[in-house]
Chain A
Amino acid sequence: MNDFVLIRKNLFRKKLRAVLMIVSILIAFAIFGVLAAFERAFNSGETVAEDDRLVVVNKINFTQPMPVAYFNRVRAIEGVRLATYANWFGGYFQDPKNFLIAFAVEPETYLQVVDSDYVITPEMREAFLRERTGVLVGDAVAKKWGWKVGDRVPIGSSIFSQKNGSRSWDMTIVGIFGKRKPQADTNRMFFHYDYLNETRSFGNDKIGWLVLQTTSPDVNDRVAKAIDRSFANSSYETATDTEKAFNKAFVAQLGNIALIVQLVVGAAFVTILLIVGNTMVMAVRERTREIGVLKTLGFSGGRVLRLILGETVLLAFIGGVPGIALAALAIINLRQSLTNFVPGLTLEPSILAIALILMIGLGVATGLAPAIHAFRLKIADAMGRG
């Protein structure tokens, strides 16, 4: 026997009580794991964003178009090193339910701008620039649909139609790209803006947004103001912001995810803190005489304190570790079905580290009051002697 056996035996002396506490902790950590993974996935755009990238959208909101002519005017503004543009396609494969994240882009400049995010080989780049109906597909999309280079695939649009009435565009896969940054999302595809623009029945010569790189993050503010000033009082006024702020604003449309996570997890943890804390106080009070016996045998106050804290920390781990495992399992199952809506859904190591810290914190917080009570308890009082 050792102290761990003593801790374990104490914890499970009332099995039903222990199991109920473990289940409540398990549920709390499962909720934490899933919500934290969603929060990270929603905010991954913020982390993947480069400091020197700006996004220009229609001032009304980013779903409204802008003239493609803005591209050349923005490129001419001082402090702009590189600019490109893109248009949301509202793509799908075979059935509108099979949603695809597809962008019609200006091929040459777009690849330059996203070069730090994705691995695009010179051969892919060359094939993409050469082939007007060519499409570059992220490896996540290719894997999902079993596509390979050379395949000719019909990509439908839930927004646009062709002049001939068709809602489908035939595209040739000229490359499958991977990610350069862990947070980058490869669940997307890029094809030629010109291919869309020349064939669509409406919205010609309009784009969704411009992405540009400045000469330095220090000039971001000045460049943004200059761009918005140059289109002020036009039919298509612009709003320019950093890519980070743009991504953040995009996610904010879904609500303040971080706040929701904090509130839900906070409420769950406070409830569990009260339940487990109260139960431990009662459990230790029931054991007052036994604590007196331990001290009589020579166990110091510090050692008794450690035994009780060990019990609550062990409880937190026995509930918390399977809770996080359950969350991981749920994330694996959700990842596939939500890949289009919440790309990059994963239980990152940093979430696991936070969970471990929370387990220790929960264990200490719930055990501290009864442990201090036991530490201070006088033998004579505990044994009813004197």
Chain B
Amino acid sequence: MSMSDILVALLHVSKGFVKGRETIDIFERLDLTIPTKDFVAVMGPSGSGKTTLLNLLGGIDRPDGGEIHIAGTRIDTLSEGDLARWRAANIGFVFQFYNLMPMLTAAQNVELPLLLTNLHSAERRKHVETALKIVNLADRAKHYPREMSGGQQQRVAIARAIVSDPKLLLCDEPTGDLDRHSADEILGMLSILNRELGKTIVMVTHDPAAARYARRILHLDKGHFVEKELAA
């Protein structure tokens, strides 16, 4: 694997939290590389640092030590403003509880990240239509979140995550709030995004069935990765 194939590189990353008088170390000199077009499922017990890992990859949190390189940019040294701009251009987030804006329609929710670009209104509309088509919700563009099922809302959230064509999708328990059928639908969609559109995906999950959609599964245990298996 050449350097140009690596999208994510964590080098000796340390992270801890202060709780009262105690400092709890989550990671100590953690290393991780994720190649472009990979689909990684991160599993592990509660408190193992799965969400902290996503926060670090998304530039939401900063490490106490080490370096984080994503798509050729060292993000742990960026200012808040630069980090926000970098996030808008490179990262798509999918949350467990969809986190759509209730007062905006599906199309307006999907358009939100594009407000940070220089695209004109017509171009933005085109991008939104494409993203909604990818998640099979073109006919729901004018519907509000309250008018949609949980699975449909999560598909809108995926459309919002991919609309600005980010390099990396970070999914935090994307099926945690869905029934099996809707969960399979969402996971199938993520799989298509990875295999057909070449999106690199890091997905945190508790669900082994969900993890099986990934190319590989990483188990976080006491701040270290254990690679369990490779998906077919």
* Chain A residues near B (Cβ < 8 Å): 1-3, 5-6, 9-10, 12-13, 289-290, 293-302, 379-380, 383, 385-386
Known contacts A1-B111, A2-B115, A380-B55, A295 near B99 by CB under 8 Å: no
| CB-based contact B116/A296 at 8 Å | no
| CB-based contact A298/B55 at 8 Å | no
- For B80, the chain A residues whose CB sits under 8 A away are 300-301
| CB-based contact B116/A298 at 8 Å | yes
Known contacts A385-B51, A386-B17, A297 near B113 by CB under 8 Å: yes
| CB-based contact B108/A297 at 8 Å | no
- For A383, the chain B residues whose CB sits under 8 A away are 60, 95, 99
- For B113, the chain A residues whose CB sits under 8 A away are 297-298
* Chain B residues near A (Cβ < 8 Å): 17, 51-52, 54-55, 58, 60-61, 80-81, 84-85, 87-89, 93, 95, 99, 101-104, 108, 111-113, 115-116, 121, 124, 160, 172
| CB-based contact B115/A1 at 8 Å | yes
- For B103, the chain A residues whose CB sits under 8 A away are 9-10, 12-13
| CB-based contact A293/B81 at 8 Å | no
- For A5, the chain B residues whose CB sits under 8 A away are 108
Query: What's the A-B contact tally at a CB cutoff of 8 Å?
Result: 74
- For B116, the chain A residues whose CB sits under 8 A away are 297-299
Q: Which of B17, B52, B115 has the most CB of A within 10 A?
A: B115
The binding surface of chain A is classed by DSSP as helix
B222 to chain A, nearest CB (A): 18
11 A-B residue pairs with CB within 8 Å: A1-B111, A3-B115, A9-B108, A293-B101, A298-B85, A298-B116, A299-B84, A300-B80, A300-B84, A301-B80, A385-B54
Chain B residue at minimal CB-CB distance from A289: B99
What's the Cα separation between A37 and B80 when bound, in Å?
49
What's the Cα separation between A294 and B61 when bound, in Å?
16
B49 to chain A, nearest CB (A): 10
- For B89, the chain A residues whose CB sits under 8 A away are 298
Chain B residue at minimal CB-CB distance from A385: B51
Given contacts A1-B111, A297-B93, could you give 11 more A-B pairs where the C-beta distance is less than 8 Å? A1-B115, A1-B124, A2-B121, A9-B104, A13-B102, A297-B88, A301-B80, A385-B51, A385-B54, A385-B55, A386-B55
Please provide the 9 A-B residue pairs with the shortest distance between their CB atoms, ordered closest to farther.
A298-B88, A13-B103, A9-B103, A300-B84, A379-B60, A293-B99, A298-B87, A297-B113, A298-B116
| CB-based contact B87/A297 at 8 Å | yes
Chain B residue at minimal CB-CB distance from A294: B112
- For A12, the chain B residues whose CB sits under 8 A away are 103
What's the Cα separation between A295 and B81 when bound, in Å?
10
| CB-based contact B61/A386 at 8 Å | yes
What's the Cα separation between A296 and B101 when bound, in Å?
13
What's the Cα separation between A385 and B80 when bound, in Å?
18
Q: Which of B60, B95, B112, B160 has the most CB of A within 10 A?
A: B60
Chain B residue at minimal CB-CB distance from A5: B108
What's the Cα separation between A53 and B58 when bound, in Å?
76
Chain B residue at minimal CB-CB distance from A379: B60
| CB-based contact B61/A296 at 8 Å | no
| CB-based contact B84/A298 at 8 Å | yes
What's the Cα separation between A2 and B125 when bound, in Å?
12
B42 to chain A, nearest CB (A): 14
- For B172, the chain A residues whose CB sits under 8 A away are 385
What's the Cα separation between A12 and B80 when bound, in Å?
30
What's the Cα separation between A2 and B103 when bound, in Å?
14
Chain B residue at minimal CB-CB distance from A3: B115
What's the Cα separation between A386 and B62 when bound, in Å?
11
What's the Cα separation between A2 and B113 when bound, in Å?
11
What's the Cα separation between A13 and B172 when bound, in Å?
27
What's the Cα separation between A95 and B161 when bound, in Å?
80
Chain A residue at minimal CB-CB distance from B51: A385
- For B84, the chain A residues whose CB sits under 8 A away are 295, 298-301
A307 to chain B, nearest CB (A): 10
What's the Cα separation between A385 and B93 when bound, in Å?
13
Chain A residue at minimal CB-CB distance from B166: A298
- For B111, the chain A residues whose CB sits under 8 A away are 1
- For B52, the chain A residues whose CB sits under 8 A away are 386
B172 to chain A, nearest CB (A): 8
What's the Cα separation between A298 and B55 when bound, in Å?
14
What's the Cα separation between A16 and B52 when bound, in Å?
40
Chain A residue at minimal CB-CB distance from B88: A298
- For A2, the chain B residues whose CB sits under 8 A away are 115, 121
What's the Cα separation between A385 and B57 when bound, in Å?
14
What's the Cα separation between A297 and B110 when bound, in Å?
11
A122 to chain B, nearest CB (A): 66
- For B87, the chain A residues whose CB sits under 8 A away are 296-298
What's the Cα separation between A134 and B103 when bound, in Å?
72
- For A3, the chain B residues whose CB sits under 8 A away are 115
Chain A residue at minimal CB-CB distance from B90: A298
A53 to chain B, nearest CB (A): 62
Chain B residue at minimal CB-CB distance from A287: B101
